[in-house]
Amino acid sequence: MSTQANATLVRQWVEAAWNNGDLAMVDARYAPDYVGHGPGQDLVGPEAFKQFVAMWREGLPDFHMTIEDLMAVGDRVVWRFSVTGTQQGTVLGVPPTGRAVQTTGIVFSRFTDGTWAEDYFEVDFVSLLQQIGAIPAPAAA
């Protein structure tokens, strides 16, 4: 795939899967040996990644991701995103609170032979946990 095709795939993925819950693209475009490297966990294989997306969409049924920045070079796409949603289900082990949340993250994606091969991602889970009341916010200085 071309650099532009990889960037387009990321944009299509965010809209279809993250924002609308359509995970069909995982079966069609993710490598069988896909690995997602994240804070405290590795998602090994497309099924693990589908479960990860489903978990977030169940916890935040109005989950909405916006790509804030995207750069593509060769087989790599780097994208920074923001997420909004309302916690109506369990998120990171925390029962539903009904609270609105907003957080940010960044993903470094690698593509091989037309498939999504690997991601390295970081998400601001600390602010998310603060917003749902699981950990206290820092005291004002």
- pLDDT confidence of residue 138: 80
42: domain CATH number is 3.10.450.50
For the chain, give the DSSP string.
Answer: --HHHHHHHHHHHIIIIITT---HHHHHHEEEEEEEEETTEEEESHHHHHHHHHHHHHHSTT-EEEEEEEEEETTEEEEEEEEEEE--S-BTTBPP---EEEEEEEEEEEEETTEEEEEEEEE-HHHHHHHTTSSPPPPP-
In a domain, 85, yes or no: no
From CA 78, how far away is CA 134, in angstroms rounded? 30
In a domain, 100, yes or no: no
- pLDDT confidence of residue 48: 95
- pLDDT confidence of residue 136: 87
In a domain, 11, yes or no: yes
In a domain, 115, yes or no: yes
In a domain, 10, yes or no: yes
- pLDDT confidence of residue 114: 84
Per-run averaged pLDDT (10 residues), the chain, 141 residues: 90 94 91 94 94 94 98 96 97 94 98 94 95 86 70
- pLDDT confidence of residue 52: 92
**Looking at the 3D structure of the chain, how many domains does it have?**
1
Q: Please, how many CA atoms are within 13 Å of residue 50, restricted to the half-sphere of its CB?
A: 14
* Domain boundaries, position 38: 3-80+106-122
In a domain, 53, yes or no: yes
